[in-house]
Structure 1
Amino acid sequence: MAVSGTSGTSGTSNTNNTVSGATTGIANNFDQFLLLLTTQLKNQSPLDPLDTNQFTAQLVQFAGVEQQLKTNETLGSLLSLSAAGTATNAVGFIGAKITADGTTTRLIDGKAEWKVNMSSAGTANITIKDSKGNVVQTATKTLVAGDQTYSWDGTTSIGSKAPDGEYTITIDAKNVAGEAVTAKTQISGIVDGVDFTSSIPMLKIGSISVPIDKVKSVVRSE
């Protein structure tokens, strides 16, 4: 099992330091403003009093800015808690079998599967490529409308057996009228790690990365 990445924690720390520094600065300016205000009021000329409306407006403005910074600081804390919760949830996927949107899956012991959804029945030209982008198998299949499973036993176009690894499927489908139709694919596998180096935690199935928001189902064996 592997859990990598620390950028989420360091990024949160920098955000909190920035907000705290900004709050301290506005608090100091606010205190200086109050000191200046009271000093001017104590020393104003009775014959030419200062405009209190202007002071009041400035006081309200400073108070509004300070309140906004307090709100930003609170939101920063909430975001940190949310990120921590997401990380905890992502680690909980380790050891579970997931199904997710995707085109790349693993060939293990001569077996690879993709879940395919066709918007309508038709004929599909299927191309399978290895991790280097080399075409290893092509086939023409009739697919029904709706969900189905496409299985590959690892046999290449020249009749040899492909080694275990990651393979990507491409489906170019047309309906009975010859019109192009959409074929959506999903992959499944056991999560053996989590990568936190991107903004969205990536679940690892071998070297395959699956964004956590692309997961469609989770099954955990007892």
Structure 2
Amino acid sequence: MTSGISSLTSAAASSAAGKTADSATLASNFTQFLTLLTTQLKNQNPLDPMDTNQFTQQLVQFAQVEQQLKGNDRLDSILANSKAASSASATSYIGKNVTTDGTTADLKDGSATWNLTPARDATKAVVTISDSKGNVVGTQTTSLAAGSQTFSWNGKNSSGLAAPEGTYTIKVSASDATGATVQVATAMSGSVDKVDLSGASPVLIIGTSRVPLSRVTGIGLSTTSS
């Protein structure tokens, strides 16, 4: 009888570890366990009674599995609520102009915009724009003041022709008045067209770019007129 009870306990524990949806099965097994335990206590040999430590340990094992199942259910509920809240928050970004970390931006309606943040004043900054294949389509030499600022490209290539819409990459090589290199942090900005909620976390769609919500560093009103 004791070995049968032990087997039943192990089976329930194994099932609970595999699937959190087995709570109904666990309850049924627990009822069977109590029935078997009660029957064993009624019919045990008075000269060789059941070890109380043994069935107490089995009760504890069932209780632990039951607590784990309930804990998993609560965690699933918390995660579901958190995802729902995150999704609701992400949809509020649609139509807004956001700034995110990165060197790529989409050329759309004859304009691509980045945010540049030099560590200090740069008297000379060579800005290079490349297409998705790595081909350089335009360069511009300018000066940059320290701090965050917007850099817009009009979509014209080196020949003055309009480049096709798509994703472009910016690279900035800057130096100060002494010729020392100035580090320039780059970021991308654009209007959020839609939000992809199919994954574990929301992804903002800006043109053809996919930006995880966690990469957003700034948000503002869209500059596109309706």
For normalisation by structure 2, the TM-score amounts to 0.79
Q: Whole-Å Cα distance in 1 between the matches of residues 199 and 173 of structure 2?
A: 31
Task: Check 1:172–1:32 CA distance in 2 against 1; reply closer, same or farther (3 A cut).
Answer: farther
Q: What are the equivalent positions in structure 2 for 1:43-192 lying under 5 Å apart?
A: 43-122=43-122, 123-175=124-176, 180-192=181-193
**2:9 — aligned with what?**
none
The one-character-per-residue Cα deviations of 1:49-76 (angstroms, maximum 9, x if unpaired) are 1111221122112101111111101111
**SS of match in other structure, 2:59:** helix
Q: Deviations over 1:144-178 (max 9, x none)?
A: 32212222222322333323433221223445565
Matched position secondary structure for 1:146: coil
Q: Which range moved further: 178-187 or 33-42?
A: 178-187
Gaps spanning 5+ residues in structure 1: where?
1-16
1:33 maps onto 2:33 in alignment? yes
| Residue 215 of structure 1: how far off its partner (Å) | 1.6
Aligned counterparts of 1:69 and 1:175: Cα–Cα separation in 2: 62
Structure 1 residue 26 displacement after superposition: 2.7
Cross-structure match for 2:220: 219
Q: CA deviation at 1:179?
A: 5.2
Deviations 1:118-142 (A, max 9, x none): 1233343322112333210123433
Higher relative contact order (CA 8 A, sep 6+): 1
Question: Cα 1:218–1:147, aligned 2, differ >3 Å: closer, same or farther?
Answer: closer
User: For 1:142, what is the secondary structure of its paired residue?
Assistant: strand
Q: What letter matches 2:144 in structure 1?
A: L
**Separation of aligned partners in 1, 2:183 and 2:40:** 75
Q: What root-mean-square deviation, in Å, do the aligned CA atoms of Structure 1 and Structure 2 show?
A: 2.5
1:22-49: CA deviations, max 9, x gaps?
x233323322221221111001111221
Q: Which amino acid aligns with 1:185?
A: T
Where 2:148 maps in the other structure, the secondary structure is strand
Distance (whole Å) between structure 1 residues aligned to residue 178 and residue 38 of structure 2: 85
